[in-house]
Amino acid sequence: MAPIQILKLQNTFKPGGKVFEVERAAAEHSGLVQMLLQDFDDSDLEAIIPISVDVSDKGLAKVFEWMTHSKDLPKTTDDGSVRGPDDSAVNWKPLTFSDWDKKFFDALDSEALYEILIAANYLDIKPLYELGCQFVANMIRGKTTEQIREILNITSDFNPEEELRIREQKALVKDESETAEKN
């Protein structure tokens, strides 16, 4: 029998999740799927593969869209061809986005972005997870606290005293980083 080329995946976190049909080559970006493919025969894989993660089908659809588009990219295994910052501290460099990836992430609303992070983490899709984290970091870079709160929809729960103390700390650091930038 030829190996299964289309996998059926369904999020069972909440009842009534949609069944997604994903090409095997695309699904293999997921470490979780890779593990399943190793552990089960093709005959088992004809059935629907259940996954369970707290994201909506809309978010999941975006994840599969990315996987399908990137199906020909080299897959990461545990020894990792894509290096995240926790792999080798010394040689780490920021990631660059391909044109397609940039368009993909730019078009996301914040809800979908967070869902992608959560799903990529759960499904262990290392390149997508790293890109997502880098994308959020890029949104924060160089912004003031107030700007970030607005962009990421965060409310402060500091009491005024704490707020003051952190502000003082900031004054100290700011001096330093300005010199760093100048050079």
Partner 1 sequence: MPSSLEDVPDEIIRHILLYLSPEDTLLSFQRLSRRFHHLANEPLLWKQHCQLSFSHWGPEHNLQEKLKARASSVDWRNLWATRKKKNKRIAQLLDGVISTKVGQLKRLQEICTLGIDAKDYLLEQCHVDDSAEDFLARRYYASALLDSIHKGLAVDMWCRYQGQALSSQHLDMALAGFDMFVLHDREQDIDYVVRTLDSLAEEFRAEHPAFEDLSTRAKALTLLRWLRAKNLTGMDRPEINYRNLRNCFLGHALSEEDHPSLPLISSAIFTCIAERLGMTAFCLAFPSHVHAAVYAPPGKDLDGNDTEDEDGERKRMCLDPYGSDHEVTLSDLRLKLVDFGWTQGIEDFLRPTPVPIIIQRMAQNIKATHDTILNLADNPIRAAEMKRLRSGYPGLNLDAAVYASMWAELVMKQTSSRHWDSNLVPFLQKFALSWSEDVWIVKKYLAPLYNKFVASQNLPRQRTGWHNVNDIIRMLENIDNRLPEVNRRYTEEITARVHYKIGQVFRHRRYGYIGIINGWAAMGCTTLPMPHYLDAAEAEEEGDVIDPTLSVRETNMGPLRTYYTGL
Give the binding site for partner 1 (CB under 8 A).
55-56, 84-86, 89-90, 92, 94-95, 110-111, 114-115, 117-118, 121, 129, 133-134, 136-138, 140-145, 147-149, 152-158, 162-163, 166-167, 169-170, 173-177, 179-180, 182-183
Minimal distance in Å, beta carbon 47 to partner 1? 28
Residue 65 or 162 with smaller CB distance to partner 1: 162
| Rounded least distance, CB 141 to partner 1, Å | 6
CA–CA distance from 89 to each of 83, 131, 134 (Å)?
A: 10, 17, 16
Question: Whole-number minimum distance, CB 48 to partner 1, in Å?
Answer: 24
Tokens 């990836």 sit on residue:
101
Least distance to partner 1 from the beta carbon of 175, Å?
Answer: 8
Alpha carbons 33 and 36: distance in angstroms, whole number:
5
In this complex, which beta carbon is closest to partner 1, that of residue 79 or of residue 141?
141
Distance between CA atoms of residues 181 and 40, nearest Å: 54
Contact (CB, 8 A) for 59 and 116? yes
Rank residues 76 and 134 by Cβ distance to partner 1 and give the closer one: 134
Q: Where are the beta strands (DSSP E) in the chain?
A: 6-11, 19-23, 49-51
Q: How far apart are CA 130 and CA 152, in angstroms?
A: 18
- Distance separating alpha carbons of residues 120 and 131, to the nearest angstrom: 10
Work out how close the CB of 129 gets to partner 1 at its nearest, in angstroms, rounded to a whole number.
7
Residue closer to partner 1 by CB (options 79, 157) is 157
